[in-house]
Structure 1
Amino acid sequence: MYILHYSAGGEVLSIKIGVEEISNLYLHEETVSRSLDKLLKAFKKSRFQIHPIIVDERSKVVLDGMHRVSVMRELGYKRIVVCLVDYYSNLIKVKNWYRVFRNVNLNKAYSLIKDFCYKKNLALREVSFKDYELKGVPTRSIDIVCGDRVFIIEGPNSVYNLY
């Protein structure tokens, strides 16, 4: 196990990089089958895990890397490279997660998003990335960053059910 120490504001966070039995890990969210298929093909080609998954050291809950764990389980791997952290440390900040798309035809993206919002009766706003404020608090919107534009989708119910 390799241990890194990070210090800020008088508090120390230990980050441990090592190997963990996949059977000891707990997944806390659903996976997207398209992402699983893409990752499965990549792992079949390479067999190397490039980035460690992030896991709470005490509970063994996977905080980031659900798809990698699922694919490696499916391929029969017994162990996985992990980055163990103390999820309850004041130095761990959980913020919004933003999907960023590059090399996208903005007109086509806007048309698809606009159609989707119309069919689902959702509000759609578009702002420049420069004017967009990355928030550190949970929102009830889906914010999609495409190049220098941000599409903000809002609805009457929790839009997270749309994923």
Structure 2
Amino acid sequence: MGFRIEAQGLEIEIGVSPVNGVYIHEEIIPRMLDQLVQDIRQNAEVRSPVIVDRNTSVVLDGMHRVAALKELGCRYLPACLVDYRSPVIQVGCWYRVIRDWVSDSRLLEIFRSLGLGIELSSLESALKELEARKATAALFTARNCYLIRVPNTDILESYRWVKRFESAAEAQGLHIGYEIEHDAEWQVRSGKCPAALLVPRTTKEEVVRTALAGTVFPPKTTRHTLPARPVNVNVPLSWLKGDQPLEEVDRLLVEYLSGKKLLRLSKGSYYDGRRYEEELLVFR
């Protein structure tokens, strides 16, 4: 059944799904999982639904919520079901931003220590190489841009190399953040940070194929944007424990959401300390 909302050409259905019936496509970070388990247990509710493709049951956003609910012994999860094939759902990526002031040579030495090939490039050429999948990544600094190559590497292996670089950099005491593409480029150009690692963008087909094969990308591989995203749903944890049939919990959720007011916040709004690129559907 589900609670249905039409949002800028996309039908959104909020309901409940079996927690073991969905497929994640990114690795779980233990530290984040522990924090989320503690938060859900303390608040006795799940604030926002997991974004799930209704056709394949692949999780687009909310891997850690799935893992946390499993750890808490839940049979169900709150799901925002969407049609992933819709062109209004976009897949972006997270560029890795180096927060510490460090020289180009030091960063390039990390890549060399991993056995990766390095070529001097322009930003424009590097972006084309990444789009064509001819490069593993690109290092964009205030002075130069460098292509990072590994022969015969598919998208999954490219991100595994990116993860190896992150681990090696962090082992040297460097701090890495994650920014959307244009924000990362702006931070380097404006002098806010010394460098950003540009990464290739996955396709929807690659996300689905990887998840259904039981394989996962490293964390922060994909960044899914929808025309609108539901938040503040606040589904009671007790409903998700499985004491009642799925259909009854779904009915309770629809009744619960129908009694709330729906506030629409425009794209670019801040909510709960975070800026969203999507319209927010806030239940109150």
Report if the CA contact (8 A) 2:33-2:67 is conserved.
Answer: no
Deviation at 1:152, TM superposition (A): 5.7
Q: Counterpart of 1:24 in structure 2: which amino acid?
A: G
CA distance in 1, matches of 2:19, 2:73: 10
Note closer, same or farther for the CA distance 1:41–1:161 as it changes in structure 2 (3 Å cut). closer
Report if the CA contact (8 A) 1:99-1:143 is conserved.
Answer: no
Once the two structures are superposed, what CA deviation does each residue of 1:21-72 show, in whole Å capped at 9, x if it has no partner?
2122123x3514xx1x112221233115444322111221212222331232
- Residue of 150, 153, 167 corresponding to 1:155: 150
SS of structure 2 residue aligned to 1:94: strand
Match of 2:166 in 1: none
- Residue of 63, 69, 76 corresponding to 1:66: 63
Matched, 1:121 2:107: no
Report if the CA contact (8 A) 2:37-2:69 is conserved.
Answer: no
Give the number of the structure whose residues are more often helix, by fraction: 2
CA distance in 1, matches of 2:130, 2:11: 23
Note closer, same or farther for the CA distance 1:136–1:121 as it changes in structure 2 (3 Å cut). closer
Matched, 1:54 2:48: no
SS of structure 2 residue aligned to 1:107: coil
Once the two structures are superposed, what CA deviation does each residue of 1:94-144 show, in whole Å capped at 9, x if it has no partner?
34x114447x21318973x433311222245799x9xx8699957443357
SS of structure 1 residue aligned to 2:90: coil
Q: Counterpart of 1:157 in structure 2: which amino acid?
A: N
1:84-103 equivalences in 2 (<5 Å) = 84-95=81-92, 97-101=93-97
Structure with larger RCO (C-alpha < 8 A, sep 6+): 2
Q: Counterpart of 2:160 in structure 1: which amino acid?
A: N
1:18-37 equivalences in 2 (<5 Å) = 18-27=15-24, 29-32=25-28, 35=29, 37=30
CA distance in 2, matches of 1:2, 1:135: 43
What 5-or-longer segments of structure 1 have no aligned partner?
A: none
Aligned-residue Cα RMSD (Å) equals: 3.9
Aligned residue pair count: 151
CA distance in 2, matches of 1:119, 1:135: 23
CA distance in 1, matches of 2:79, 2:128: 28
Matched, 1:106 2:105: no
Note closer, same or farther for the CA distance 1:76–1:138 as it changes in structure 2 (3 Å cut). farther
Note closer, same or farther for the CA distance 1:80–1:136 as it changes in structure 2 (3 Å cut). farther
CA distance in 2, matches of 1:151, 1:80: 43
CA distance in 2, matches of 1:76, 1:39: 18
Report if the CA contact (8 A) 1:99-1:144 is conserved.
Answer: no
What 5-or-longer segments of structure 2 have no aligned partner?
A: 164-284
CA distance in 1, matches of 2:31, 2:83: 30
SS of structure 1 residue aligned to 2:110: helix
Report if the CA contact (8 A) 2:51-2:60 is conserved.
Answer: yes
Whose Rg is larger? 2
Report if the CA contact (8 A) 1:122-1:156 is conserved.
Answer: no
Note closer, same or farther for the CA distance 1:145–1:4 as it changes in structure 2 (3 Å cut). farther
SS of structure 2 residue aligned to 1:106: coil
Report if the CA contact (8 A) 1:99-1:145 is conserved.
Answer: no
Deviation at 1:86, TM superposition (A): 0.4
Q: Counterpart of 2:113 in structure 1: which amino acid?
A: K
Provide TM-score, normalisation by structure 2: 0.41
Match of 1:38 in 2: 31
